[in-house]
Amino acid sequence: MTSDPEPISPLCLRPIPKGVPQSLHHLVPKLKGGKGGPVVLLHHICHKEIHVRFTEAELARAFNTVEALGQSERMRPFLDWVARRPPDFLSRVPGGRRRR
């Protein structure tokens, strides 16, 4: 049995296991000229958070690197929170797995 190394989400720095929802984030939004530009592979949950916290214009102008996103005050609470979740954690909806 071979196991390829799992990719790492450059935003939350957790692995992205196979089968976990994941998506490519355009560092410069496509609508702002980023078509064909650099992309990063993120957990879908992290990707969604970016687009909740920033407008396309803000992403294009000031938050067009993973570093800028990761250091942003707007992302820190989410990143601190998600860092304590398992890599295959999908949502804040409770009731998935029970721990006892």
Is the Cβ of residue 92 or residue 100 nearer to Zn ion in the bound state? 92
Task: Determine, following the binding rule CB under 5 A, whether residue 43 of this chain makes contact with Zn ion.
Answer: yes
Q: Considering the complex, what minimum distance in angstroms separates the CB of residue 99 from Zn ion?
A: 22
Task: Determine, following the binding rule CB under 5 A, whether residue 9 of this chain makes contact with Zn ion.
Answer: yes
Which of 20, 28, 40, 46 is close enough to bind Zn ion by CB under 5 A? 46
Instruction: Spell out the residues 6+ positions from residue 9 whose beta carbon is closer than 8 angstroms to its own.
Output: 15, 16, 22, 41, 42, 43, 46
DSSP structural state of residue 30: G
Q: Considering the complex, what minimum distance in angstroms separates the CB of residue 9 from Zn ion?
A: 3
CA distance 72 to 40: 17
